[in-house]
Homo-oligomer: A and B are copies of this chain.
Amino acid sequence: MTRQLSLGAFLMATGHHVAAWRHPDVPADPLDFSVYRRAAQVAESACFDALFVADSVAAPSDALASHSARSVYFEPLTLLSALSVVTERIGLIATATTSYNEPYHVARKFASLDHLSGGRAGWNLVTSDAAAEAGNFGRQAHIGHAERYARAREFQQVVQGLWDSWADDAFVRDKATGQFHRPDGVRALAHSGEHFRVKGPLNVARAPQGRPVLVQAGSSESGRELAAQSAEVVFTAQPSLGAAQAFYADLKGRLAGYGRCEDDLKIMPGVYVVVGRSEAEAQDKAERFQALVDPRVGVALLGRMLGNFDLSGYPLDGPLPELPSTEDGQRSRQQLLTELAGSEGLTLGQLGQRIAGGRGHFSLIGTPTQIADQLQAWFEGHAADGFNILVPHLPQGLEDFAQWVVPELQRRGLFRTHYQGRTLREHLGLQRPANPYFS
């Protein structure tokens, strides 16, 4: 079989477009479970590899937060646990920060979700860079970039060690003798490091997938190194085919240094997709969302994306102001947006509006053929192993993609027409990791 691409469905409340909730067809309640259920079932019918849920451990507090639907939403693990029951095959990837969590809790919840779902869990490991998050966990300021990544690396190692607490065949459940597990089928982790001391073992059996799939999204130097060392899927925002190719080559090139193969890590750029039966219909649809954007709301979103800057004092028809240099973690996003504004001569207001849908991700607006052409070019041009699909509104945007774009990808032999596997690892073509402590 030829190489197949992977598809993730990014589930953001009401949709990825900042003004989606204002659209007359969009259910505007980010806590309406039925919307997620519908979206998940649509994505599963279309054979998507996974659902993906982002996260933050704080509510936005800027002046225009009251105009955003993203103030309240489901906690990702409770949401995906619920969705695990109404789906059978699709992967379930939740974001959880390493900055304000304990590795034991995180290891446990994802292992639990993997058991609940029969091997469909994935953990999107992130670090927190928002001061608002720090304030909810007893800190005045957020942890610096370098320390965040050092902590994340150790956190990931502890979680992985906890996931390997039990041998796959530890549980003999011998009713006659009364032995439930082999005493030599379990080990305490006894981790003692700079950030964590964790004894273990985990109180969840080894996961059906061995370990839940490890996803990351950082694009900074530290982020790339951490991904090369441990990630199995990388989500990324790339503004163009060329940039995506450079990122792809760079990241894949780092794997050998950690004794890993290129196939051990799948790179899935985010793509914002608006599809129509004709190009005009697609453009018209995209513009209907754009017209709903209050320019001040777009600029507030821009400020958050650039590193929690308050841009409300700058004129909408002026340029993007010079920003103080930020730390490593936000620099890549800042650079991306500054270049975009410069190359197209956008005003502050226009830039805010531009990112209202894709939020810095590559945008594809067109017919199914046009969209499939682009995805194919990225996929075959060594820019992507698959895509995280962002749609303007839920559940309709996902229905459009499933109905029009997926069949076109299937016709071209690029995407499965039915699930071959049962676990997320199987969908992605990732090996089930052996347990190094019991081999």
The residues of A with any CB-CB pair to B shorter than 8 Å are 19, 21-24, 28-29, 31, 33, 56-59, 61, 66-69, 71-75, 77-79, 81-82, 84-86, 100-102, 104-105, 108-109, 111-113, 115-116, 132, 135-139, 165-166, 171, 173, 175, 178-183, 186, 188, 196-205, 292, 294, 297
Quick one: given A21-B173, A66-B180, A180-B69, are A112 and B202 in contact (CB under 8 Å)? no
Q: Known contacts A77-B77, A77-B109, A137-B198; can you find 5 more A-B pairs with CB under 8 A?
A: A19-B178, A59-B201, A61-B188, A66-B183, A85-B85
Report yes or no: A203 in contact with B173, Cβ–Cβ below 8 A: no
Shortest CB distance A21–B (Å) = 7
Report yes or no: A173 in contact with B29, Cβ–Cβ below 8 A: yes
Report yes or no: A116 in contact with B179, Cβ–Cβ below 8 A: no
Complex alpha-carbon distance, A59 and B198, angstroms: 13
Report yes or no: B204 in contact with A116, Cβ–Cβ below 8 A: no
Name the B residues within 8 Å of A165 (CB-CB): 59
Mostly, the A contact residues are: loop
Report yes or no: A33 in contact with B102, Cβ–Cβ below 8 A: no
Chain B residue at minimal CB-CB distance from A200: B136
Chain B residue at minimal CB-CB distance from A24: B175
Report yes or no: A112 in contact with B74, Cβ–Cβ below 8 A: yes
10 contacts between A and B (CB under 8 A): A19-B178, A28-B175, A66-B180, A66-B181, A67-B179, A74-B115, A75-B204, A77-B109, A79-B81, A82-B85
Option from B72, B79, B205, B292 in Cβ contact (under 8 Å) with A72: B205
Shortest CB distance A139–B (Å) = 8
Complex alpha-carbon distance, A79 and B108, angstroms: 12
Name the B residues within 8 Å of A86 (CB-CB): 85
Shortest CB distance A406–B (Å) = 26
Quick one: given A22-B178, A71-B180, A180-B71, are A112 and B203 in contact (CB under 8 Å)? no
Chain B residue at minimal CB-CB distance from A199: B135
Report yes or no: B196 in contact with A109, Cβ–Cβ below 8 A: no
Complex alpha-carbon distance, A29 and B105, angstroms: 22
Report yes or no: A199 in contact with B101, Cβ–Cβ below 8 A: no
Report yes or no: B203 in contact with A57, Cβ–Cβ below 8 A: yes
Shortest CB distance A151–B (Å) = 13
Complex alpha-carbon distance, A173 and B20, angstroms: 12
Option from B78, B108, B180 in Cβ contact (under 8 Å) with A113: B78
Option from B81, B82, B138 in Cβ contact (under 8 Å) with A196: B138
Option from B56, B69, B85, B138 in Cβ contact (under 8 Å) with A197: B138
Shortest CB distance A197–B (Å) = 5
Complex alpha-carbon distance, A179 and B86, angstroms: 33
Complex alpha-carbon distance, A138 and B105, angstroms: 13
Quick one: given A75-B204, A79-B81, A205-B31, are A178 and B61 in contact (CB under 8 Å)? no
Name the B residues within 8 Å of A82 (CB-CB): 81-82, 84-85, 116
Complex alpha-carbon distance, A216 and B77, angstroms: 24
Report yes or no: B71 in contact with A181, Cβ–Cβ below 8 A: yes
Name the B residues within 8 Å of A21 (CB-CB): 173, 175, 180
Name the B residues within 8 Å of A198 (CB-CB): 135-138
Complex alpha-carbon distance, A74 and B178, angstroms: 22
Shortest CB distance A309–B (Å) = 19
Name the B residues within 8 Å of A179 (CB-CB): 66-67
Chain B residue at minimal CB-CB distance from A66: B183
Shortest CB distance A384–B (Å) = 31
Chain B residue at minimal CB-CB distance from A60: B203
Chain B residue at minimal CB-CB distance from A196: B138
Quick one: given A59-B202, A85-B86, A175-B22, are A180 and B67 in contact (CB under 8 Å)? yes
Report yes or no: A56 in contact with B116, Cβ–Cβ below 8 A: no
Quick one: given A105-B101, A116-B33, are A78 and B75 in contact (CB under 8 Å)? no
Complex alpha-carbon distance, A179 and B175, angstroms: 62
Shortest CB distance A290–B (Å) = 14
Option from B59, B108, B166, B182 in Cβ contact (under 8 Å) with A203: B59
Shortest CB distance A55–B (Å) = 9
Chain B residue at minimal CB-CB distance from A207: B31
Shortest CB distance A39–B (Å) = 15
